Amino acid sequence: MSEIKLEKLDDNRWLLPRSGGMKVPGVIYANEKIHQLLKSDESTRQVANVAHLPGIVNYSLAMPDIHWGYGFPIGGVAAFDLAAGIVSPGGVGYDINCGCRLVGTKLALADVQERIQDLTTALYKHIPSGVGSTGQVKLSGKDQKKVLEEGSKWAVKAGFGSLDDLEATEDGGAIEGADPDQVSARALERGKQQLGTLGSGNHFLEIEVVQEIFDEAAAEAFGLHKGQIVIMIHSGSRGLGYQICDDYLALMVKHAPETGIELPDRQLACAYLNSQRGRNYLAAMACGANYAWANRQLLMHRTREIFEKTLRMAPRELGMRLVYDVCHNIAKIESFNIGGSMKKLCVHRKGATRAYPAGHEAVPARYRAVGQPVLIPGDMGSGSYVLVGQPKAMEETFGSACHGAGRVMSRTQATKASRGRSISRELAEQGVLVMAGSRGTLSEEMPEAYKNLHDVVQVMHDAGIAKKVARLKALSCIKG
């Protein structure tokens, strides 16, 4: 149980006052209901721990999906000065660039209602999922290097998509500065056969329908309308990203005494951004991020092929197109107004997503008049939300919003709580068809294991960080 006392700033924000070795205060985005949940875990302590790190700017932040993570809380956001600050693998996470991709279609609910079972079965059969799954694309050493350097661009050049997909992907589907020489042989080996695979745990592919529109102008800009069929893909950098994180955490723990940084938790092992070790990690992390973008690009391409074949539709009839792809679990060099002048910072978003407003040059031209799409998936029964970034995000959260509902149960707790139940049958009764590699996955990911998605999203909306655009209802879900 956390003993940290939070002070209420307003209906959606709580202050964690500076104390001890904290260099800045903490701010947690939460309504009263979510605040009560925080009393039963230690994630607020992690917000305080992050505030001890050198070069942290303004606040140690947490989004309303906050829960316990490795080092940083999941839902944690922190920005660091490039000259005096650090980069921490625990502030990025093990699944580098775990992210979401929303895909629109020309289909209406009536077009697929009788074919959901066929589509879901075909997706489950032909899209590799689960622990250790391997994809259809086997990479040579030369090709893998190009994937790590080019990300989605490599996939498009290889015939898995179009140039339009790159425009609708954060950072065009590739971070600059990726250096495969900073990735271990073990990580490279783990990534060779996993491109185009969904993975396990909370990763999924869902067929959804647009259930409600909140902002007509933004929805029109994003190409969304009520009753439309869309697909949400949630996956990341697979074993390659995990190994990169593991390798650099071990390295930074080993060399921690050399930095002179006093850490309240060894899981916050880090390196100064201007050190060789810090630069090497960022170069390796970029490789993991680029691999994840290529992975989601292949997953989308395969999904398109499966829809076309199952529904016997031509590409033009199906009209499948990428609405947007956002990444979570990342550290990026970005510019913000700090004290009246623009300053480059290294922003860690762990279980958080970018939420840039209208007019920002990083927002795709097609969306710049309204702002960046923000994709917030929920548990298997809740569907998802589409939001749009707001100017206040640039003032308060370094252009960041939450990335999902956020767990309230550990996987072990969820497994115990679901004993004797059929999660798939319960979801079917709610109108959601689920196919998974094991009953264990469904138990760990059962809806009650997560916060109420609507509460989490409403906090972001009411706080003015990201505005609700559309609510999506899940029709079917495949998991590893």
Among all residues, which ones are annotated catalytic?
403
Distance from the first to the final alpha carbon of the chain = 32
Residues β-bridged to residue 15? 7, 27
Report the distance separating Cα 328 and Cα 346, nearest Å: 15
Residues β-bridged to residue 29? 13
Report the distance separating Cα 403 and Cα 327, nearest Å: 9
Report the distance separating Cα 390 and Cα 168, nearest Å: 18
Tell me the residue type at 432.
V
Report the distance separating Cα 351 and Cα 378, nearest Å: 13
CA 32 to chain centre: 25
Instruction: Give the DSSP letter string of 162-202.
Output: -HHHHHTBGGGG--TT--GGGS-HHHHHHHTT-TT---STT
Report the distance separating Cα 381 and Cα 387, nearest Å: 19
Q: With contact defined as beta carbons under 8 Å apart, do 296 and 232 qualify?
A: no
Report the distance separating Cα 362 and Cα 328, nearest Å: 16
Residue 78: CB partners within 8 Å, gap ≥ 6?
50, 53, 56, 60, 61, 72, 91, 347, 348
Residue 55: phi, psi to the nearest 5?
Answer: 75, 10
Q: With contact defined as beta carbons under 8 Å apart, do 284 and 132 qualify?
A: no
Q: How far is CA 277 from CA 43, 182, 254, 257, in A?
A: 28, 10, 12, 14
